Amino acid sequence: MLTNRPRFNQLKAKRQVKDISQSIFRRPGRDIPAGIVVFLVALPLCLGIALASGAPLISGLIAGMVGGLVTGIASKSHTSVSGPAASLSAVVLTALEVLETFDVFLLALFIGGLIQVILGFLKSGMIADYMPTSIIKGLLAAIGLILIISQLPYALGVELDKSRLLDYSQSFFSGVIETGALVLSLFAPGALILAVSSLLLMIFWEKTALKNVKWLPPSLFVVLFGVLLNQTFKFLLPALYLDGIHLVHIPEINDPTALFTFPDFSAIDNFQVWTYAFTIAIIGSIATLLNLEATDNLDPHKRRSPPNQELVAQGIGNSIVGLIGGIPITSVIVRSSVNIEAGAETKLSTIIHGFLLTVSVLFLSTIINLIPLASLAAILLLVGYKLTSYSIITQMYRKGWSQFIPFAVTVTAILLTDVLIGVLIGSASSVFFLLRGNYYNPFYMEETNPGSKRKTIRLELSNEVSFLNKPAIKRILWNLPKGTRITIDASFSSYIEPDVLEILNDYQTTFARENAIDFTIVGLKDSYAPSNEVVIGKPAVINRADLKKPANVLQYLKEGNKRYADGNLVSRRFQNKKLKDFIKDVPLAVVVNCIDMREPLNMLLNTGIGDLIPLKAAGTLLDNHLVHTLEIACREQGAVLIVVLANSDNHLLKNALKRVLAEPTAPFSPLLVPAIEAGYFSPERFRSEDLSHWSDRLARWNAAPAQTKIVHTNAYLRTHINQGKVGLCMAFFHRKDGTIDFFPLYQPTN
Q: What are phi and psi of 227, to 5 degrees?
A: -65, -45
Residue 461, H or E segment: strand 456-461
Give how far Cα 67 sits from Cα of 353, 359, 499, Å.
9, 15, 49
Residues 714 and 697: beta-carbon distance below 8 Å: no
At residue 652, the 3 state secondary structure works out as: helix
Measured distance CA(704)–CA(722) in Å, rounded: 17
**Best CA proximity match to 41, nearest among 229, 276, 217:** 217
Helices (H), 441-497: 470-477
Q: State how beta strands 641-647 and 589-593 pair.
A: parallel
| 596 belongs to an annotated ligand binding site | yes
Measured distance CA(717)–CA(710) in Å, rounded: 7
Q: What angle do CA 29, 30, 35 make, to 5 degrees?
A: 110
DSSP per-residue letters across 490-505: -TT-SEE-HHHHHHHH
**How many whole angstroms from its chain centre is CA 50?**
32
Residues 727 and 633: beta-carbon distance below 8 Å: no
Helices (H), 333-418: 333-341, 348-362, 365-368, 373-387, 390-398, 401-416
Helices (H), 167-217: 176-186, 189-205
Q: Compute the Cα dihedral for 278, 297, 553, 21 and give only its sign.
A: negative
| 634 belongs to an annotated ligand binding site | no
Measured distance CA(503)–CA(521) in Å, rounded: 13
Residue 486 β-bridge partners? 457, 519
Measured distance CA(338)–CA(335) in Å, rounded: 5
Q: Which residues are annotated as a binding site for Zn(2+)?
A: 594, 596
Q: Which residues are annotated as a binding site?
A: 594, 596
